[in-house]
């Protein structure tokens, strides 16, 4: 089993209303220094067999990310 971590983020340039709402809340709480807040997802996968990175990439392309609006990153932690 290999642990693969997939990160899915809204594409740069695509409006991220969730990130904006979180940023506004942070700023109301007094964290005035924060900007550029974006909210995405982290998906952990346990993958059997060879080429877990390739398998995870195909899963992203086929389901886990909608590439019209999202970018993904696949990582196998050391």
Partner 1 sequence: MSATRVAVLRFPGTLDHESAATAVRAVGGDPVFTHHTDTALPEGTQAVVIPGGFSYGDHLRPGALASRTPIMVAVKAHAAEGGKVLGICNGFQILCESGMLPGVLRPNASLAFICRQADLEVADADTPWTGGRRTGEVLSVPFKHHDGAWFGDPSDTRVVLRYTGENPNGSIDKIAGISNLAGNVMGLMPHPEEACDPLLGSVDGRALFAALLA
Tell me: does residue 66 bind partner 1 (CB under 8 A).
yes
Contacts of 28 (CB under 8 A, 6+ apart): none
Name which position in 30, 33, 68, 77 contacts partner 1 (CB under 8 A): 68
Sites for partner 1 among residues 2-41 (CB under 8 A): 14-15, 17-18, 21
Q: What is each CA distance from 12 to 7, 38, 50, in whole angstroms?
A: 14, 9, 32
Cα end-to-end span (Å), the chain: 14
Closer Cβ to partner 1, 39 or 47, answer by number: 39
Minimum separation from the CB atom of position 66 to partner 1 (A): 5
Residue in the structure block whose two tokens are 């990175």:
53
Positions in the binding site for partner 1 (CB under 8 A): 14-15, 17-18, 21, 63-64, 66, 68-69
């Amino acid at each position: 089993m290999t642990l693969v971590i997939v990160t899915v983020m809204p594409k740069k340039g695509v409006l991220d209303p969730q990130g904006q709402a979180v940023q506004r809340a942070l700023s109301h709480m007094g964290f005035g220094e924060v900007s550029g807040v974006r909210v995405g997802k982290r998906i952990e996968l346990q993958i059997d067999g060879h080429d877990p990175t390739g398998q995870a990439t195909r899963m992203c392309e086929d389901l886990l990310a909608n590439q019209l609006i999202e970018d993904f990153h696949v990582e196998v932690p050391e």
